[in-house]
Structure 1
Amino acid sequence: MSDAIDFAPLQPTAPAPAESVELERLTDVTVEVSVEIGRTTMTLGDALALGPGSVVGLHRMAGEPVDLLVNGRVIARGEVVVIDEEFGLRVTDVAGPRGAAGEEPAPAAEAPVAEAA
């Protein structure tokens, strides 16, 4: 026969100061940053047939936010802007450290992004 044991609910704790110190040491690490406007799939034959004037449709609506990726993972979304004749990105939404709902960040075009506050 066993008796039930009641435990007090767990309370969230603040991150240990050591974590922020470790993160501080990584701020000078160089990462690849890219902006993805969309993706599609096609057969190898269709890809080989591409040439000047070919048009490739992407699975993203015009005017929809584009993805900002760091090392292949979506970290934010935003809108394309022009800065002195070069493209840029105005960030509109930023993902949390593990995605919007605490899950692992998904590959491009699939990652959830938290609304900007």
Structure 2
Amino acid sequence: MSEGNKEDPSAAEDDIWGSALAEQAQATQAAAAPAAASTAAAERVFQPLQGNTGTEIAKGDIDRVLDVPVQLTAELGRTRITIKNLLQLSQGSVVELDGLAGEPMDVFINGYLIAQGEVVVVNEKFGIRLTDIITPSERIQKLNR
């Protein structure tokens, strides 16, 4: 600055910040005006449902997905082996898993753990007796570990 200009530099910065804030406020107001107009238009085009309570809508929604297939996986345990050992497997080979005998097995739906259970045999067929259903909050806790 030249010696002839005796303005305070902090006052000039305040002026710059003040004009920037005013410019931002104008931009925000200009953006809000079209949003309000589109909300009014949406209310005219999409009329609210008449005569349906929340429970009726929810029941109708669940009915739509009842026939959607999902993949259920029951996992006894896991292990990691080399490709060499994998190629040596044959009928009757035993693969050691990290799960212990008698431990609950994990039940997954589309890759998400939803329950734990135990193996049962009914009429010479294997099944799973669910012993513990995993709640959504428990699922979140397990993800955080």
Asked if TM exceeds 0.5, the reply is yes
When the two structures are superposed, what TM-score results if normalisation uses the length of structure 1?
0.64
Matches of 1:76 and 1:67, distance apart in 2 = 6
Query: Alignment partner for residue 87 of structure 1, among 117, 126, 131?
Result: 126
**2:10 matched to which residue of 1?**
none
May I ask how many residue pairs the two structures share in their alignment? 90
- What residue identity is the alignment partner of 2:80? T
| Residue correspondence of structure 1 range 6-45 to structure 2 within 5 A | 22-45=61-84
Q: Which has the higher helix share?
A: 2
Any stretches of 5+ residues in structure 2 without a counterpart? 1-53
User: Is residue 100 of structure 1 aligned with residue 127 of structure 2?
Assistant: no
Percent identical: 40
Tell which has more relative contact order, 1 or 2 (C-alpha 8 A, sep 6+): 1
Matches of 1:21 and 1:33, distance apart in 2 = 25
- What residue identity is the alignment partner of 2:107? L
Contact 1:66 1:78 in 2 (8 A): yes
**1:56 matched to which residue of 2?**
95
User: Is residue 75 of structure 1 aligned with residue 104 of structure 2?
Assistant: no
Matches of 1:49 and 1:20, distance apart in 2 = 53
Contact 1:74 1:105 in 2 (8 A): no
Any stretches of 5+ residues in structure 1 without a counterpart? 1-15, 107-111, 113-117
Larger radius of gyration: 2
RMSD: 2.6
When the two structures are superposed, what TM-score results if normalisation uses the length of structure 2?
0.53
